A = this chain, B = another copy of it.
Amino acid sequence: MDTFTALGEPTRRHILEILAGRNGTAATEIYGNFKATPPAISQHLKVLKAANLVRVEKRGQKRIYFVNPEPMKQLEKWVRRFAAIKEEQFQRLDSVLERMRLEDSNAPMLPFEQTDE
């Protein structure tokens, strides 16, 4: 997933924010939102296109850009795994560490060692 790299740039995120909630935005219109030159923005659009985050439609001499929802859905799925981690987990660990520290000051290792992959 190249999505992350594409989103790792503020300008590109801003472009997506502009596109969101609109039914297509011409390149010139996008350019207008930035102080950077059109070529700069065009290159960002190219990256977003390569990451499949946007799609383009030719209409005359204009290129109309749209957000592509699919990769966003996948990203959401990826993120959810982490978002789902509970505070509870930290609480539990905190108390375990506390207990171990009190019980055995020699205890050198981790309380949990779940070698997954």
Contact = CB atoms under 8 A, between A and B. Distances in A.
Contact of A8 (B8, B26, B49, B115): B8
Contacts of A110: 24-26, 29, 58-59, 62, 64
Contacts of A57: 97, 111-115
Interface in A23-72: 23-26, 29, 49-50, 55-60, 62, 64, 66-67, 69, 72
A67 B85 contact: yes
Interface of A: 4-5, 7-10, 13, 16, 20-26, 29, 49-50, 55-60, 62, 64, 66-67, 69, 72-73, 75-76, 79-87, 89-90, 92-93, 96-97, 107-117
